Amino acid sequence: MSSGHYIENIYTQKSITETIEKNSEYRGCCIYVKKQSTISNCVFDNCSFREDIEVGLMKECFLNNCSLRNVKIHKLQVCNFSGGHIDYLELDEGANGSLWSTNIDLLLLKNTYKICRIPHKDIMHVKVCGMISGCNVRELERMTLGSLEKGNKKLVVDFESAVYGSSTGMGILVKIADGYLEQKGAIVLTHVPEKMIALFEMLGLATILPVFPDLPSAIKAFEDGTKYSF
């Protein structure tokens, strides 16, 4: 289960209360660590994180079928997730497509994007809470296109709580849309405010993306197949 990692220590069915050691594999462990600056080169297999945890940097780690509560990670670097469940994940940097293979109730990305899976629909719902800018939309691009590569082809971007969208941020959103269209995916927008319509038209976004008044109507379009690109 080392997944190519260099492992020095293996812990099986242990209670980890003090620190998570680097270069270690944890099998069926209960982890009670609440805060750690760095978690490096670790494998977690069927582990249960019993406390909320904050991590400064998590790098070169693999989490397989793990259960986590409320998690805050400032930077995620070359990490992979497979199965398992996370109640809430707050992530500043390092989003990747493998996150979508884990059942995450709510992912807060860059303190701007609330991401969840629509139950029983296999639809990624991204709610914009703030401003779409060039500096924060890159993480959304990595998350969505990474998920697309893994076969998750339905995306709803919800602007109900959006404050503003810069031309750079909107341009990257167009790039995300192009990625979905190239891979025969489907992406739609909801709750687009009037003040953003002009910017969408200027960037050509309105011509390649369908806009719906709300989430239920967008989901219905997915179910009807009327707004798919395939």
Tell me: the pLDDT tens digits for 55-75?
A: 999 999 999 999 999 999 999
Contact 151, 185 (CB under 8 A): no
β-bridge partners, 124: 117, 155
Contacts for 225 with CB less than 8 Å, ≥ 6 apart: none
Q: Which fold has domain 111-230?
A: Transcription Regulator spoIIAA (3.30.750)
Which DSSP symbol is given to 20? P
User: For residues 142 and 129, what is the distance between their CA atoms, to the nearest angstrom?
Assistant: 18
Listed in order, the ranges of the chain carrying CATH 2.160.20 are 1-109
* Residue range 111-119: mean pLDDT, rounded: 91
pLDDT at 172: 85
Instruction: Indicate whether 1 pLDDT > 70.
Output: no
Residue 226, pLDDT score: 61
| Nearest in space to 3 (alpha carbons), one of 77, 110, 67, 79 | 79
Residue written as token pair 């990625």: 179
Is residue 114 within 8 A of residue 124, CB to CB? The reply is no
Bigger pLDDT: 225 vs 161: 161
Fold of 1-109: Pectate Lyase C-like (2.160.20)
- 121 versus 15: the higher-pLDDT residue is 15
Between residues 134 and 18, which one has the greater pLDDT? Answer: 18
Which tokens belong to 9?
A: 């220590």
Write 101-106 long-range contacts (CB < 8 A, 24+): 101/150, 102/63
Q: What are phi and psi of 185, to 5 degrees?
A: -95, -175
Q: Hey, what are 207's tokens?
A: 């011509």
Range(s) for CATH 3.30.750.24 in the chain?
111-230
